Structure 1
Amino acid sequence: MVNFTIDEIRTLMDKPTNVRNMSVIAHVDHGKSTLTDSLLAKAGIISTAKAGDARATDTRADEQERGITIKSTAISLYGTLPSEDDLKDIVGQKSDGTDFLINLIDSPGHVDFSSEVTAALRVTDGALVVVDTIEGVCVQTETVLRQALTERIKPVVVINKVDRALLELQVSKEDLYQTFLRTIESVNVVISTYLDKALGDLQVYPEKGTVAFGSGLHGWAFTIRQFAIRYAKKFGVDRNKMMERLWGDNYFNAATKKWTNKGTHEGKQLERAFNQFILDPIFKIFSAVMNFKKDEVATLLTKLELKLPADEKEKEGKQLLKAVMRTFLPAADSLLEMMILHLPSPVTAQKYRVETLYEGPPDDEAAIGIRDCDPKGPLMLYVSKMVPTSDKGRFYAFGRVFSGTVKSGIKVRIQGPNYTPGKKEDLFVKAIQRTVLMMGGKVEPIDDMPAGNIVGLVGIDQFLLKSGTLTTLETAHNLKVMKFSVSPVVTRSVQVKNAQDLPKLVEGLKRLSKSDPCVLTSTNDSGEHVVAGAGELHLEICLKDLEEDHAGVPLIFSDPVVQYRETVGGKSSITALSKSPNKHNRLYMVAEPMEEELAKVIEDGKVSPRDDFKARARVLADDFGWDVTDARKIWCFGPDGNGANLLVDQSRRRRAHAWCPLEHPRCYPTRRCHPSWWWSNYPYR
């Protein structure tokens, strides 16, 4: 039974210092969803017996069938710290009481669904990075961690599947410690590589409580802080000193009753403190249970002051092991404690995130409202994705309130990605019909939502394609567009089996495009409808959704085709020449790579085709050493009119057609270059 009410959650929303918005991110199959089950069981959303097997945040049927997360799923939880003394360990930020609101988003791990991770990270401030004990840091672990750091998201780490190391590999305590050490070092290498200096030190340290170890499948986990509290109470020592001693090269010499950082004493090997005080009781439980030593299990339960229900004591093997470890080290307690103590509140996070979130000046009313997480400021809300509703063809706009308060019936400015302040392009002014709280596969109605919280909106889906900014301030700029780490490069054409179903296909393609942040739909020159995805699995899922849900008609799909593009590695060694059919005009062209700094500025939107051409030319001349005349004669940005490729006219004659470079596959690069064209002195005809 759920042990909190929506009213209690709404009350906590008014305490932004007690809110934690966080994503669960990892490589595929590292155990995000099973670990999340423990938190849901703690909140009473699922039964404890089902935790680890239910994968409750995998709400789609195909997610359960395939055993992978496809869509990111948000759910709000009510968490409580055991005592007010624990609040002292929250470093660098304030809190109001021991009750906390955890807005959790379980995200996919497969590389094809990276766009879902990006959408989740935009609306959160912290990340729970899950790493498999056996596999360690993998490619996608690094990718999602890099995405998080780019968005200025603070990470904490869970080393998952520790049970596999003990049961399958049967490693020694020292080997397991060394495995943990290597994994943490690998995570910290990634963090230090992509770290934003404005955030300070974001590396994770077990002795500071920012790393947890456990098993999501079996429902247990621990941090060094938890054991330090136990031993500090038992031995009457300071728990912070105990935390430092329980990791690294620290040893307790039983003969001298003193701590030392030397591994030997009088020629005898000392046992590492982490192995002796933390791993030893865990190893003893595993050994006693898996070797069916009932008496030894009973003795351990007495020593550890654990009480098991009579029916659970009768279990054997892994089932008994799961019951004992869940009672000894409940995963939810460790994870909640780590998230509350070490992840930032919206009040803290928005102070340093505002400059990477907001396109406008840092001192305008909107920026100040975001920086202060002000519920009374102008509304600034970012919609990061669309979530299909049970009403076919309609969507919830899923996003985060950064400033102000959003409520049912409020009239807002809906600013799409192409909106320019002072203009009416990509702008709608409409009322929000309803605000809802996203609870996994369900939604709960809620009257309003103040700054710092995650929200679902009803009634604006027809005015936004995928993402955008909602505001009540006429002078507000957009919140920055998300950057995806993958591109839709795999395409398949789609056609209907029955010609009369074509209108349904067209409508279905529109819905599909809205439902997925990364998918692209288009019509090619031959009139075929084309769907592009990040990979074959992504495309397969999208086409299944298109046929079964969005269009609802039988469809025929072509084989997948991967789009290849050429790029420019260096300046052309020759000048290419092309003549017009009447031989009266000659076209000369060279291509050369663009400076990396300029490409980044263009991708960040600081230089764009919408800028005044004189102002843009001055920036290119002053900052990048361009010739002013050339900078004024940029014909177009590509691809799609806004990418980091430039077509520059260096002739002193008449203009040509800006669409030419987009018509030939060699001249449609996704890499960065700027071809330059010259006209000959022949008359233009």
Structure 2
Amino acid sequence: DNLGNLYFNLDFTPDKSFEKNKEKNILLEKKNNLYSEIFLFIFYKSLKNFQNHRNILICGGLQHGKSLFISSLIYEIRISLNSKNFFFIGSRRDEKIMQTTLKMNPISFFYFESNNTTCLFNLLDTPGHSNLSSEIESGFRISDGIVLLIDCIEGVNILTKKLLNKIIFFKKICFIIYSKLDKVIFELKIPPEETMKKLNYITSKINQINLFLGYDMLLHYNPTKNNIGFLSSKYHTFFTIKSFISLYSVKNIDNYNNKKLYSFFWNKSYFIPGERLILSNNNDNNNSGIYSSVVFILSPFYKIINFCLTEHPKQIYKFLKYKNLLSKFIFID
């Protein structure tokens, strides 16, 4: 009433809508329980099939973004969406306080193929401190493949050289990821031309280490060979040369050979905007040629990142709707 007293009706009879909502909640609980039982059944069944198990070691230098990379994978696969600022660090209390990995932390992912087969991927997050190299050593022995993360700003350090030596010693398949690409754009504010030169310098330094060890023919890293990727875990973005070529090949004419685009997009080839030409060597000093990798890969990436972070979400939504791209995106509140 007006005095603030509360009165309850003891003869309360629930409406039909209340009963319907109650039935829906019961059905949802049964549905979730059924899904969990099916998942556990597939999980225990896949554990018996060792041929579909793969152990992947995530290694790199100190603070090169290994745990943040795994946390972004967890976020994208919707394993944990309770907190938007979710960050994967082991259950140890000292790891949470220090915000760094001290022990090797495994985490499993399921991959369902079209032929009703399941693959179990065990990602092994390893510490990046040189005093904890025993954890990395044990991870090398049980892993099937290596993912090596290298900071774009710091580049190749002493621990990275040791890891490259171990990759060659254990004869493991390695995929290199250049992490923290967002810091190059927003903190250092390096233009795309300088970023491309910096990434090429890191790649050449890695190949020089392999050449010094005498394994240059076995392990030659180049973005055109799809053994190098580019990552920004903070903004959940990852791309390779192959991903950009697949986008450009959609508007391709007469089924142009995509293998030629690999050499044009990252090797020493120049794009002349006025004449729309791609030259392998820009010997003519009068031509103001730009690296083709800058024009077709890094510049679009810079524009997309700046557009998504500076524009209002409504403007981004209108742009995606205008380009008929809404079906390819997932919107999260």
Structure 1, unaligned runs of 5 or more: 84-95, 313-685
Among 177, 191, 195, the alignment partner of 1:172 is 191
Give secondary structure in 2 for the equivalent of 1:268.
Answer: coil
Aligned to 2:306: 287
Q: Distance in 1 between matches of 2:82 and 2:322?
A: 24
Out of 111-120 and 282-291, give the one that drifted further.
282-291
1:134 aligns with 2:153: yes
- Specify whether residues 6 and 152 from structure 1 end up closer, same or farther in structure 2 by C-alpha distance, changes over 3 A only: farther
Superposition deviation, residue 44 in structure 1:
3.2
Comparing both structures, which one devotes a greater share of its residues to strand?
1
User: How do residues 227-246 of structure 1 correspond to structure 2 at under 5 angstroms?
Assistant: 227-236=244-253, 237-246=256-265
AA aligned opposite 1:268: N
Superposition deviation, residue 209 in structure 1:
1.0
AA aligned opposite 1:129: L
Among 46, 54, 79, the alignment partner of 1:11 is 46
AA aligned opposite 2:61: H
AA aligned opposite 1:69: T
1:220 aligns with 2:248: no
Identity %, equivalent residues: 24
1:206 aligns with 2:240: no
Q: Distance in 2 between matches of 1:250 and 1:270?
A: 9
Give secondary structure in 2 for the equivalent of 1:55.
Answer: coil
1:22 aligns with 2:52: no
1:68 aligns with 2:100: yes
1:267 aligns with 2:286: yes
Q: Distance in 2 between matches of 1:107 and 1:121?
A: 10
Q: Distance in 1 between matches of 2:271 and 2:83?
A: 38
Among 81, 94, 117, the alignment partner of 1:47 is 81
CA contact (8 A) 2:60 2:163 kept: yes
- Specify whether residues 309 and 150 from structure 1 end up closer, same or farther in structure 2 by C-alpha distance, changes over 3 A only: closer
User: How do residues 497-516 of structure 1 correspond to structure 2 at under 5 angstroms?
Assistant: none
TM-align CA RMSD:
3.3
CA contact (8 A) 2:272 2:288 kept: no
AA aligned opposite 2:242: R
Give secondary structure in 2 for the equivalent of 1:65.
Answer: helix
Superposition deviation, residue 36 in structure 1:
1.0
- Specify whether residues 290 and 210 from structure 1 end up closer, same or farther in structure 2 by C-alpha distance, changes over 3 A only: same
AA aligned opposite 2:79: I
Superposition deviation, residue 180 in structure 1:
0.8
Q: Distance in 1 between matches of 2:236 and 2:213?
A: 32
CA contact (8 A) 1:288 1:296 kept: no
Q: Distance in 2 between matches of 1:283 and 1:243?
A: 20
Aligned to 1:114: 133
For each residue in 1:84-104, what CA deviation from the matched residue of structure 2 results, as whole angstroms up to 9, or x when unmatched? xxxxxxxxxxxx888543221
AA aligned opposite 1:203: H
Superposition deviation, residue 186 in structure 1:
2.0
Aligned to 1:183: 202
1:56 aligns with 2:88: yes
Out of 68-77 and 257-266, give the one that drifted further.
257-266
Out of 37-46 and 253-262, give the one that drifted further.
253-262
Aligned to 1:420: none
AA aligned opposite 2:239: F
CA contact (8 A) 2:271 2:289 kept: yes
For each residue in 1:57-84, what CA deviation from the matched residue of structure 2 results, as whole angstroms up to 9, or x when unmatched? 4221211110110000112212367x8x
Superposition deviation, residue 295 in structure 1:
8.4
CA contact (8 A) 2:224 2:241 kept: yes
For each residue in 1:242-292, what CA deviation from the matched residue of structure 2 results, as whole angstroms up to 9, or x when unmatched? 233221112344555443213477823222221111112221133334544
User: How do residues 217-616 of structure 1 correspond to structure 2 at under 5 angstroms?
Assistant: 217-236=234-253, 237-263=256-282, 267-292=286-311, 297=316, 301=320, 306-307=325-326
| Higher RCO (C-alpha 8 Å, min separation 6) | 2
CA contact (8 A) 1:12 1:100 kept: no
1:154 aligns with 2:186: no
1:79 aligns with 2:111: yes
Structure 2 length-normalised TM: 0.76
Q: Distance in 2 between matches of 1:260 and 1:299?
A: 38
Superposition deviation, residue 11 in structure 1:
3.2
Q: Distance in 2 between matches of 1:248 and 1:60?
A: 45
- Specify whether residues 117 and 124 from structure 1 end up closer, same or farther in structure 2 by C-alpha distance, changes over 3 A only: same
CA contact (8 A) 2:108 2:120 kept: yes
CA contact (8 A) 1:42 1:48 kept: no
Structure 2, unaligned runs of 5 or more: 1-31
Structure 1 length-normalised TM: 0.39
Q: Distance in 2 between matches of 1:267 and 1:292?
A: 38
AA aligned opposite 2:248: Y
- Specify whether residues 142 and 59 from structure 1 end up closer, same or farther in structure 2 by C-alpha distance, changes over 3 A only: farther
Superposition deviation, residue 116 in structure 1:
0.5
CA contact (8 A) 1:232 1:238 kept: no
AA aligned opposite 1:31: G
Q: Distance in 2 between matches of 1:176 and 1:8?
A: 45
CA contact (8 A) 2:180 2:231 kept: yes
Aligned to 1:124: 143
Give secondary structure in 2 for the equivalent of 1:229.
Answer: helix
Q: Distance in 2 between matches of 1:188 and 1:67?
A: 32
AA aligned opposite 1:211: I
Superposition deviation, residue 154 in structure 1:
2.0
CA contact (8 A) 1:57 1:106 kept: no
Give secondary structure in 2 for the equivalent of 1:5.
Answer: helix
Q: Distance in 1 between matches of 2:206 and 2:82?
A: 31
